[in-house]
Amino acid sequence: MIELEDVWRTYQVGDQPLHALKGVTLNIPAGDHVAVMGPSGSGKSTLLNILGCLDRPSAGSYRLDGDEVGSLSDDALSEVRGHKIGFVFQSFHLIARLAAEENVALPMLLAGVPPEERRERAAAALEAVGLGHRAGHRPNELSGGEGQRVAIARATVMRPRILLADEPTGNLDSAAGQQVLEVIERMNAEGLTLIVVTHDPNVGRRARRVIVLRDGEIVRTVAGPDLEPGLGLAPPEPASP
């Protein structure tokens, strides 16, 4: 499903190039559950933006379902984002004046889905995250965990094949975070490809495998349950003289 080969992302900072990603090669089959970890500045968000078609590689190849992303037009990329990929972020980005059901329906409104179908699918998406009874509540009437689950319902209401989650439990207490993880892991078990960026080793251990980034490069790949405490979160120890 996802194939990256020797992907670079370079930004120009003044007259100096900044390499946010350096030769990343990665394959993620459909239905996989991958965690991306590493210290701040390691390239995690850049990688997620490229995977989500929010950005393009400076060099290298990114193929999604066999299509070369770099050759797609802006309209085609927008179509991919709207129908194949869902996004969940640390901040929920819910619209304060809209009820939960209206927030969930927004992607369908933008896609031109008829009103009755929007209502039915929004209600079903909220039921899927255990919040059917909160459909009429606005974000300020929801707990943090409920707000994130509404955001997940919104991210999946267009029935994407990939869910990209950037620190989805970062603003939540442990109990609410557990509920959110259970929701997205259930969706993964039903076939949704799940890619989670996290600093939390406990979240990483729940993935099938963990990709560790440092300075824009993949430095290690491990099975999630084998993740060591602190792996990829701190710089390596200096070699002994």
Q: Compute the distance between CA of residue 215 and CA of residue 43 in angstroms, rounded to an integer.
A: 7
- Predicted confidence at residue 240, as pLDDT, reads 41
Helices (H) and strands (E) in the chain, counts: 7, 10
- Predicted confidence at residue 238, as pLDDT, reads 43
Domain map (residue ranges) of the chain:
2-65+73-84+160-226, 97-145+153-158
The chain-wide mean pLDDT, for the chain, equals 92
Fold assignment, 2-65+73-84+160-226:
Rossmann fold (3.40.50)
Which phi and psi angles does 45 have, rounded to 5°? -65, -35
Residue-wise pLDDT tens digits, 124-159:
999 999 999 999 999 999 999 999 999 999 999 999
Residue-wise pLDDT tens digits, 60-105:
999 999 989 888 899 999 989 988 999 999 889 999 999 999 999 9
Q: State yes or no: pLDDT of 165 exceeds 90.
A: yes
Residue-wise pLDDT tens digits, 98-123:
999 999 999 999 899 999 999 999 99
Spatial contact of 52 and 81, defined as CB atoms under 8 Å apart = yes
Q: Compute the distance between CA of residue 223 and CA of residue 231 in angstroms, rounded to an integer.
A: 12
